[in-house]
Amino acid sequence: MTNHSDLVAEIEVVDIQATGSIPSDAGDLPYVDFDATVMDLLAGNGASGREIVIRQTGAYGADGEVEFEISDDPLIRAGDEFVAFLHESEEGVYFIGGGPTGRLPIEGERVYQLDGSELRADEVPESLTELSQAISTQ
């Protein structure tokens, strides 16, 4: 996945930046743009500490509860920390490649997979240090 990503980084989500929708054949498809900080750059261009915008399909209601999300790809929330395999759009907004497969939640040094991930358990190191080392050797 690293070779097919514009940016691979440890991310901390700061807040919701904006919401909107994209017209599609099935109707408008809602999205949320999140302000996020690159905590550690693992692959790609840029620097740790910079701010980026990550766009994800889904919507929050006025009460802050999830109104719409893709099955097996839960909406990001402020405060979430994860390693992300990101693709950059022409407008400079990032998208997580592969949905739940391209987002690996972290808690401290521990790395997890989302339920919808297509990776096998043996393909994902259990620690952030091991994951960082695996990515840097690709």
CATH number at residue 92: 2.40.50.120
As to burial, measured by CB atoms within 10 angstroms (0-12 exposed, 13-18 middle, 19+ buried), residue 70 is middle
- pLDDT above 70: percentage of residues in the chain: 100
At 6, the pLDDT band (50, 70, 90 cuts) reads: very high
**Cα 47 from Cα 27, distance rounded (Å):** 38
Domain that includes residue 87, residue range: 2-136
Match 């097919």 to its residue by tokens.
4
Residue 138: pLDDT over 90: no
**Cα 36 from Cα 5, distance rounded (Å):** 17
The total domain count for the chain is 1
pLDDT of residue 83: 96
Residue 79: pLDDT over 90: yes
Tokens of 110: 């521990």
Residue 137: pLDDT over 80: no
At 120, the pLDDT band (50, 70, 90 cuts) reads: confident
Contact status, residue 68 vs residue 58, Cβ threshold 8 Å: yes
